[in-house]
Amino acid sequence: MGVQQALPTNRQAARGVNLAAENAWTHIECAETLREVQHFGAASAHLVLAVEEAVKARVYYKWPRLVKAMSQKQLRELLYTHQVRHEIAVLDSMSQSLRIAIRLWQIDHPGAQMSRRTLTSFFARHDDAFPLTWAKRADRDKQRGMHVDWDGRTWKSPSSVTEAQYQRRFVRCLEFVVKTNAAVGLFDEIREDLALSGWDIDEDRL
């Protein structure tokens, strides 16, 4: 039997909030540095890592409440399972307008189960949220950005990731990390970096 991953105490989790949020921002900076030298695959991988660390910061931030409501198995899944973390990212990235649109649909269709196709269309109209496919594809895309692999038919290489693909991912990932830093009280630490990049840092705080 393998050794179970350790779970932090509330005090340790409080320390981990800032460490994880700062590391998320470091991955954003790494991504942009790699983009500047046109290594779009590796840059995209760092965007995924940034989101993973941002989710971890959010989990640590809510840790005292989570330990009261979840089992140790569930808590370990939050911290150590990539797909679970990316599912959290999708949920947390949903804007208020998207949540309202879904709720209105439910009111208009009492008792009906929304199909995945319909839900996907809602997400497509609110492109500030991660797409529903993010949870299943993020870790695979991260690996694609870091490694050369043979899939049985063709070679997969980080060099096949385009700048356009990187930029589409960058906007959502940056917003998620910025909002995470704002939520945990580190917004001012990245204010200057954002301003130098031309982002309106006071436009959309949590």
pLDDT digits (tens, 9 = 90+) for 27-84: 999 999 999 999 999 999 999 999 999 999 999 999 999 999 999 999 999 899 989 9
Write the pLDDT tens digit of every residue in 103-142.
999 999 988 899 989 998 888 888 778 988 998 899 999 9
Whether 41 and 159 have beta carbons less than 8 Å apart is answered as yes
3-state helix, strand, coil in the chain (%, to 5): 70, 0, 25
DSSP string spanning 22-46? Answer: HHHHHHHHHHHHHHHTT-HHHHHHH
| 205 confidence band (pLDDT: 50, 70, 90) | very low
> What whole-number distance in Å separates Cα of residue 174 and Cα of residue 177?
5
pTM of the model: 0.83
Q: Give the C-alpha separation, 23 to 108, whole Å.
A: 43
CB atoms within 10 A of CB 116: 9
Report the alpha-carbon distance of residue 172 to residue 51 in Å, rounded. 10
